């Protein structure tokens, strides 16, 4: 109960439910699980989020806001394209520390079972990441820092796919074998 009072009930619900979504999956956790973890009654959850889809949408929207702020910080802190991509890599890896799956990767794994609104916002989040990565890589191509090769969009897609995929393999094997930031050079230099 102390956690709820310190950060506010709504925020505690969002943070806790995000963790449950990233460890159990959207379909596998219930409001009863959430109420028990946060230490409140189920009606309190329904007061803040009448439907589970409302909660899921709030979680992804909050996550998108954090990622957008991270993108702004990355661009402010470095003008070099490779450094920006390496910062994205570190940001992505930090988000999966502690045995968590990437939020939207976890949702994408359940895409056909998600409510339509969550399907749309999950797709939107992937689009946001791919557009940002594509734009950063295009800048690198224009500046001559990155060879054109297969093109900025394909390089962005490959990078995001490798990061998402490696996190799922690590999740399944629990070996701690994950790609390192050398993958950035490999992808951007690819034909």
pLDDT band at 3; cut points 50, 70, 90: very low
Query: Cα 101–22–95 angle (5° rounding)?
Result: 50
pLDDT in tens, 9-59: 899 999 999 999 998 999 999 999 999 999 999 999 999 999 999 999 999
Residue scoring higher pLDDT (62 or 149): 62
pLDDT of 176 > 80? The answer is: no
The conformational region for residue 144 under phi > 0 = left, psi -120 to 50 = alpha, else beta, is left
Which is higher by pLDDT, 110 or 6?
A: 110
pLDDT in tens, 79-130: 999 999 999 999 988 887 777 889 989 999 999 999 999 999 999 999 999 9
**Nearest residue to 126 via CA among 63, 170, 72:** 63
pLDDT higher than 50, residue 137:
yes
pLDDT per position as a tens digit, 74-91: 999 999 999 999 999 999
**Positive or negative: CA dihedral 37, 42, 46, 47:** negative
> What is the reported pTM?
0.88
Q: Which residue has the higher pLDDT, 171 or 5?
A: 171
| pLDDT the model gives residue 167 | 86
Structural domains in the chain plus CATH codes:
52-189 (1.10.357.10)
């Amino acid at each position: 109960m102390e956690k709820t009072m310190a950060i506010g009930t709504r925020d505690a619900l969002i943070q806790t439910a995000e963790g449950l979504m990233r460890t159990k999956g959207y379909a596998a956790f219930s409001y009863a699980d959430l109420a028990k973890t946060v230490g409140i009654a189920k009606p309190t959850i329904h007061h803040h989020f009448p439907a589970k889809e409302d909660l899921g949408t709030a979680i992804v929207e909050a996550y998108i806001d954090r990622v957008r702020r991270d993108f702004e910080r990355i661009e402010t802190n470095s003008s070099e394209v490779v450094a920006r991509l390496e910062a994205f890599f570190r940001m992505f890896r930090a988000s999966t520390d502690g045995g968590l799956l990437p939020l939207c990767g976890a949702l994408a794994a359940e895409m056909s079972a998600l409510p339509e609104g969550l399907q749309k916002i999950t797709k939107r989040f992937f689009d946001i990441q791919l557009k940002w990565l594509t734009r950063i890589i295009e800048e690198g191509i224009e500046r001559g820092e990155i060879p054109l090769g297969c093109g900025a969009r394909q390089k962005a897609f490959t990078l995001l796919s490798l990061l998402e995929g490696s996190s799922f393999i690590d999740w399944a094997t629990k070996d701690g074998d994950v790609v390192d930031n050398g993958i950035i050079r490999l992808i951007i230099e690819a034909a």
